[in-house]
Amino acid sequence: MHNLPRFSFAHLPTPIEAMPRLSARLPGKITLWVKRDDQTGLAFGGNKTRKLEFLVAEAVAQGAKRLVSAGAAQSNHCRQTAAAAARYGLACTLVLTGAPEERPSANLLLDQLFGAEIIWVADRAERDRVLRESVQHLEDAGERPYLVPYGGSSPTGAAGYFFAMQEFLAQENPATWIVFASSSGGTQAGLALGAKHFGFAGQVLGISIDEPADRLRAHVAELANQTAAQLGISTRLTPQEILVEDRFAAPGYGVFTELEREAITLFARNEGLLLDPVYTGRAAGGLLALIREGRFPTDTHVLFWHTGGTPGLFADRYAPHLLETV
Ligand SMILES: *Cc1c(COP(=O)(O)O)cnc(C)c1O
């Protein structure tokens, strides 16, 4: 296995906790666990921290002086990228979809607190174009920008979740199902590759946030195989080996529905645990629905891999709706 450059700033291993009160409320005698990647330690934590350990190390190894990335206005990825840039003395440019806000809240507020420069664009198509142009412009100006891909989901970033699976196996938890939010695919690519490579006997199920299952499976398999090549291991995956449930993606990215609200409330009131309105609220809502319809055999141990995002609870667009039925 190759030694990829890696900085060490995540708080690892993240704890695994039981969720007995939530488990008792659900049918099927399921034992629920949670892996706390909402506690990775960088600027309120989240799954991008593990990816950034590899991405920022690669950027610095290449002599970069600035990180450039893109996302939604309330992107957790951009918040953690801005924090990592600040920590390593790099400048940071973020291309965000939306418009400047008079009183920025939550992740956007934190982006600015970390000193990131923000470029606003109208939609995803414009975002990709402006991202390319910004990198070109910075290169022309003699800066050395490092493009952190959307969601940190390059082979370099996904390596973070390959090693996260190794970490999980060393914790010797009895879970045979791992369920989590999947979107740009880096988390799932790393976990699925690690599961096969290190011999996890259970299933790794991504709840798609915003992609049709066939597209996400193909993308995750390709990304996993590129990650394997970069790591110098011979393990490979086909799209058929990637498990995705896309039923809960239908409302669209960032659309807050009763599914998310109920999941956030149940986790909060039974376990004192916080979920986020965009990713973990949707994934946990999907997990609850699957348990209620008997998708897992009786007595199964199921681990919810918490991917973070909790600052989103304080975003102006979500906070007012957390307590009301939508
Ligand atoms: C980015 C993100 C995800 C999705 O992870 P991917 O690797 O992009 O699939 C899930 N949950 C949270 C909170 C995120 O910020």
pLDDT at 326: 58
140 CA to centre of ligand 1 in angstroms: 32
- Torsional sign, CA 211, 214, 218, 220: positive
pLDDT at 119: 97
- Give catalytic residue positions: 75
Q: How many CA atoms lie within 13 A of 9 on its CB side?
A: 24
Per-residue pLDDT for the chain (326 aa), expressed as one digit of tens each?
889 999 999 999 999 999 999 999 999 999 999 999 999 999 999 999 999 999 999 999 999 999 999 999 999 999 999 999 999 999 999 999 999 999 999 999 999 999 999 999 999 899 999 999 999 999 999 999 999 999 999 999 999 999 999 999 999 999 999 999 999 999 999 999 999 999 999 999 999 999 999 999 999 999 999 999 999 999 999 999 999 999 999 999 999 999 999 999 999 999 999 999 999 999 999 999 999 999 999 999 999 999 999 999 999 999 999 998 75
CB atoms within 10 A of CB 26: 17
Alpha helices in the chain (DSSP H): 20-24, 48-61, 76-87, 106-113, 124-140, 155-170, 186-198, 213-231, 258-271, 280-292
Closest atom, ligand 1, to C-alpha of 186: 7
Q: Whose CA is nearest to atom 15 of ligand 1?
A: 76
Q: Is 52 exposed, middle or buried (0-12, 13-18, 19+ CB in 10 A)?
A: buried
In DSSP terms, 199 is beta-bridged to: none
Measured from the Cα of 161, ligand 1's closest atom is: 7
- Which atom of ligand 1 is nearest the CA belonging to 185? 9
164 Cα: distance to centroid of ligand 1 (angstroms): 14
Residues with CB under 6 A from ligand 1: 46-47, 76-77, 151, 153, 181-188, 276, 279-280, 307-309
Our mutation pick for probing the ligand 1 site, out of 274, 279, 282, 287, counting the most ligand atoms within 8 A of Cβ, is 279
Q: Ligand 1 pocket test: which of 69, 77, 179, 187 has the largest number of ligand atoms within 8 Å of its C-beta?
A: 187
Q: Among 134, 138, 116, which Cα is nearest to 126's?
A: 134
Q: Which two tokens stand for residue 59?
A: 């950027």
Tell me, what's the pLDDT at 324? 84
